[in-house]
Amino acid sequence: MKIASWNVNSINARLPRILEWFDSARPDVCVLQEIKCMDEKFPVSAFDERGLNCAVFGQKTYNGVAMISRFAIEDVVRGLPDFEDEQSRYIEALICPDDGEPVRIGGLYLPNGNPAPGPKYDYKLSWMAALEARAKTLLAEEEAFVLAGDYNVIPQAQDVYDPKGWREDALFRQETRDAFYRLLNLGLTDALRVMEEDVFYTFWDYQRGAWQKDNGLRIDHHLLSPQAADRLSAAGVDKYTRDPMHGDGSVKPSDHVPVWIELD
DNA sequence: ATGGTGGAGCATCCA
């Protein structure tokens, strides 16, 4: 089963590029972040034409997450349980393949948190605590699950082009990394880190020529339960989608690229 | 120290 995550920075502004990627990458399941629209504005028919199901947790202007799947989407959870949140940042469901074991997948868009310190950073840390609580609950089930998305966390110095310059940023400061390590230390596996030994990024800012200079960050992750990690067979990053010249260049790229894994 | 880019939606906020 191929599972992908992509922060698309507006599903409707990006739709031709997103559909082209779906047609070539052919993920079985994909979680999307920053769809930036209400449920009724989500382009369900474009996915329906391809035999893909949609579960959407939308929001006007900002945030918004969705799950697209070739298989049945069951038991959908919108928002982190037991966490008051005005922003649409989490969607979880049970994906039931036609043949094979069901997999629970959580798609998340973790708050950016800048400027730090401050109320936005406090929100980020409380959101991470709620995610940790959810991970604990799911781990107790002892089943395969994947928490995938835009974590807005740079785990290590090798995951940022200029570690010193980013030291006080909400994506890299010590408290953020500590919260991320607490999540990993519950027993989750950072799938891309395990499968990809080399330096690689998943995000390049639109500004300051970040793409041309390869000034990137690794902030999109797949965290796997032990039962899912046992089935991990491949992982990758579709960097080509970030190229402004890709395709006919008429639709601008997202600042994030798709990140994917395969489970046997 | 500022601005550089991009999306939403119409003045600015967010990233």
For A177-196, how does the pLDDT look when each residue is reduced to its tens digit (9 = 90+)?
999 999 999 999 999 999 98
Domains of chain A with CATH codes: 2-263 (3.60.10.10)
- Residue A224's pLDDT is 98
Those residues whose beta carbons lie under 7 A from strand B are A 9-10, 12-14, 36-37, 60-62, 111-112, 114, 120, 206-208, 244, 252
Tell me, what's the pLDDT at A231? 97
Instruction: Find out whether A101 and A93 touch, Cβ atoms under 8 Å.
Output: no
Can you tell me the mean pLDDT for A148-155? 98
Q: What percent of chain A has pLDDT over 90?
A: 96
Q: What angle do CA A35, A36, A42 make, to 5 degrees?
A: 60
CA atoms of A69 and A101, how far apart (whole Å): 15
Taking 80 as the threshold, does the pLDDT of residue A217 lie above it? yes
Distance, CA of A262 to CA of A164 (rounded, Å):
34
Nucleotides of strand B under 7 angstroms from a protein beta carbon = 3-9, 14-15
Over 80: is that where the pLDDT of A146 sits? yes
Instruction: Write the DSSP assignment of A141-202 as a string of letters.
Output: TT--EEEEEE-----SGGGBS-TTTTTTSTTTSHHHHHHHHHHHHTT-EEHHHHH--S---S
Q: Would you place residue A264 in the very low, low, confident or very high pLDDT band (cuts 50, 70, 90)? A: very high
Q: What is the pLDDT of residue A196?
A: 82
Q: According to the model, what pLDDT value does residue A201 have? A: 98
How many Å from the N-terminal Cα to the C-terminal Cα in chain A? 6
At residue A198, the pLDDT reads: 81
- Segment A119-148 mean pLDDT: 98
pLDDT at A197 over 80: no
Give pLDDT tens digits for A62-111: 999 999 999 999 999 999 999 999 999 999 999 999 988 899 999 999 99
Contacts of A239 (CB under 8 A, 6+ apart): A200, A201, A257
Nucleotide nearest to A251 (CA to C1'): B6
Is it the case that residue A128 has pLDDT exceeding 80? yes
Q: What is the pLDDT of residue A248?
A: 85
How long is the CA A60 to C1' B9 vector, in angstroms?
A: 10
Q: With a cut of 80, say whether residue A166 has pLDDT above it.
A: yes
Q: How far is C-alpha A191 from the chain's CA centre?
A: 13
Paired strand residues for A96: A72
Nucleotide nearest to A255 (CA to C1'): B6
Q: Could you tell me the distance in Å between the CA of residue A239 and the C1' of nucleotide B1?
A: 34
For the stretch A219-231, pLDDT in tens is: 999 999 999 999 9
Give this prediction's pTM. 0.97
Q: What is the pLDDT of residue A249?
A: 86
Lookup: tokens for A111:
């708050």
Which long-range CB contacts under 8 A does A213-216 form with residues at least 24 apart? A213/A161, A214/A161, A215/A161, A215/A162, A216/A160, A216/A161
- Residue A247: pLDDT band (50, 70, 90) is confident
Mean pLDDT score across all residues of chain A: 97
Give counts: helices (H), strands (E), chain A. Answer: 7, 14
Residue with nearest Cα to nucleotide B14 C1': A62
Tens-digit pLDDT profile for residues A25-58: 999 999 999 999 999 999 999 999 999 999 999 9
